[in-house]
Each structure stands twice: as C-alpha cells, then as structure tokens.
Structure 1
C-alpha cells in the first residue's frame, strides 16, 4: 500500500513507540533547514557586499587599461553567478516543510541535494574559472608598475589562495554538506520504508 497520504507531521505528533528516534529525526531535519537557510543568506549578503565594494573601487579609481576593467567585470559576473545559485537554494529550502506529505518532503530535500551537487560541481567550477581570470586581468595593470619580484609575489599569493580554496577548502565543505543532507534524507527514507512494510 502507498504512503502518499501520510505526512511526517502526523507521524511526529503521534510519538509512536514503533518508530524509533522520530523526534531526533525531526529535530535534525528542522535544524538542517534553519542552518542551511542562515548559511545561504549569509553567503548572499557577504557576496553582495563584496560586489558593492568592487563596484565602488571601479567607480572611484580611474583605471588606465582595459584589462583592469575586464578583470573587474569577470569578478562581478562570477559573484553574480554565485549569488544567483545561492538564491536558488533559498527557494528550494523554503519549500521544505514537515507538514507536507512525506513524498513531497523527501522530494524537496532531494531537490536541495541536487541543487547543491550542481553548485558544488558545475556552478563552483565556473565561479572559480571566472574569478581566476578576473584576478589575472585585474592585477595586470598593477603588475606592470611593480618589480618582477612584487608582481610574482602578488600573482603567486593570489593564485596560492585560490588553489588552497579549490583543492583543500572546497572538498571539505562539499563533504560536510553532503553528509548532513544525506543523513536527513536517509533517516526519512528509512521511516518511509518502515511505514510501507507495516501498512
């Protein structure tokens, strides 16, 4: 028999002894949703402030070379892309509601997981390519005014940070996010499987 008409809110309210740790699962799901929403909103805010500061610098300083302007535009496009991807996450997170049916709830969580996987693969790859190219073009005008050592140091430190972010910080963040959402989805799928067997 299908469980389409059963929702998690009903199950949580019953506090049935037959379904173990249901309150813990509910709490984990709710905490995950709140944390994801706060984290996503913080990322959107910080990226927006960064974009505003870059636009201000672009407006105030009279850059002589086209490469500097091109670099700023590429950095702003990278930030705009990432803000857009994060805003898509907000839309998905807001649809996650334990009062809807279990099928819809799981579908919302899986949609969020799919959105995160897209961000972690294609989205962040495009972001880093644009950001790296943007910094390369942006620093060119300043590098011409520096000594060879200064220019090498400026480029080296910038690209070292990007490499650390790409090869070290990004994989850790992806693993952490995937573990959290997978834990919630697996727990809820286990409940659904138990209900299918008992009904």
Structure 2
C-alpha cells in the first residue's frame, strides 16, 4: 500500500461535496427552526386553551360531575401531550453547526423515532382523551336540549374530530415525515461519499 496521499484529488472531491453540504446545512437549520416554532406555537395554543377551559369552569360552575370530569380529562390530555412533545426541544437543540455528518444523521434518526412516537402513540392517547373529555363535558349542556339538537351537536363535534383525525392528521404526518426522510437520505448519501473517498 502506498503511503503517498494525493491531497489535490481529495481536495477536489471535497469541493464537489461542499456546495451540497452548504445547501443541506441550510435545509437542516430550516427544519430545526420550523420544528421549534411549531413546538412553541403548540405550547402557546394548548396552554391558552387549558387556561380558557379553566376560566370557563370557574365562571360558569358546571353542575354535573360529568362536566367536571370532562374538563379535567381535556386539560390532562393537553398537558400529557405537551409533556411528551416538549422532550423534542432538547433533541432539536442537539442539531448544531459543530457536529460531524454522522452525528447529524444520528440526531435526525432519533428525532424520527421520537416524531413517530408523538405522531402515533401520543396522538392516539391525546385524541382518545380529548374525545372522551368533550363528550363528558357536552353531556350537561346537551341534556338540556331537545334530542334532535343533542344528536346534531354530537354529530357535528364527532364529524370535526373525524375530519381532523382522518384527513388533517395524516396529511401533516406525511408532510413532516417526508421532510425528515429527505434530510436523512441526504446525510446518508454524504456519509457514503465521505467513506468512498
């Protein structure tokens, strides 16, 4: 084996990879920023909603125990989801400009695993608790309505939840997964290029 290393050839090969890396790093930072912004918006939205529900409980003093259990279940669903989701902050903070390509790839793979857990397991728990809480909460108010009005109220609420569950949620998951998969495949490609040189 020759101990002579052709640095000029290595440098030229790296020059071919470098523009791709610059673009990839911009994509990575954009991915990180958009996901952190999404986490912040979700926190603000769910915390605000929980506070409003608490204020409604305080001011309107529901009479039925089902209404109170419904309110607690809804707030608990939001808190549980936020606790699980906020663990992603630490993972996104690990993505920085000082890591090597292999570390970027490992961080993205971990984010992918945690994202799938959030999108499936935690989302199932969240929606189940939310649906149960809403149904319990609405019982006191729909019991004062005519049967037809109560059925319409539950049907409209159920239709909205079904729309979110079966249409919006899968589209959002697919979009998030596609962005992450694209980044992972690019880093895998660059890692293979580095190994081949």
Establish whether TM, by shorter chain, passes 0.5. yes
How far off its partner does 1:99 sit?
A: 1.1
The alpha carbon displacement at 1:104 in A equals 2.2
Taking structure 1 as the reference length, the TM-score comes to: 0.89
> Aligned to 1:18, what secondary structure does the other structure show?
helix
- Cα distance between partner residues in 2 of 1:163 and 1:91: 32
Separation (CA, whole Å) in 1 of partners of 2:112 and 2:59? 41
1:42-79 superposed Cα distances (whole Å, 9 cap, x missing partner): 11111110011011111111111100001001101110
Aligned 8 A contact 2:104 2:187 in 1: no
RMSD: 1.5
The separation in 2 between residues aligned to 1:98 and 1:85, in whole angstroms, is: 26
Please state how far the C-alpha of 1:101 moved relative to its aligned partner.
2.5
Q: For the residues of structure 2 that align with 1:25 and 1:100, how far apart are their CA atoms?
A: 14
Partner of residue 178, structure 2:
179
2:62 aligned counterpart, secondary structure: coil
Aligned partners of 1:51 and 1:79 also within 8 Å:
yes
State the 4+ residue runs in structure 1 displaced beyond 2 angstroms.
14-18, 101-104
Q: In structure 2, what is the equivalent of residue 37 of structure 1?
A: 36
Q: In the alignment, what sits opposite 1:18? A: 16
1:195–1:137: structure 2 CA closer, same or farther, 3 Å change rule?
same
In structure 2, the partner of 1:138 is 137
Query: For 1:15 and 1:149, how far apart are their aligned partners in 2?
Result: 72
Q: Deviations over 1:124-170 (max 9, x none)?
A: 00001000100110000001100112111111111110000000000
- Structure 1 Cα separation of the partners of residues 49 and 94 of structure 2: 28
Give the Cα–Cα distance (whole angstroms) in 2 for the partners of residues 96 and 116 of structure 1.
Answer: 15
**2:62 paired with 1:66:** no
Name the larger-Rg structure.
2
Secondary structure in 2 matching 1:64 = coil
Q: Say whether the 8 Å CA contact 2:32–2:92 is kept in structure 1.
A: yes
Shift of 1:32: 0.6
d(CA) in 2 for partners of 1:54 and 1:110?
Answer: 37
The equivalent of 1:170 in structure 2 is 169
Displacement, 1:22? 2.0
Matching residue of 1:90:
89
Q: Could you tell me the TM-score, scaled by structure 2's length?
A: 0.90
Whole-angstrom distance in 2 between the partners of 1:181 and 1:17: 26
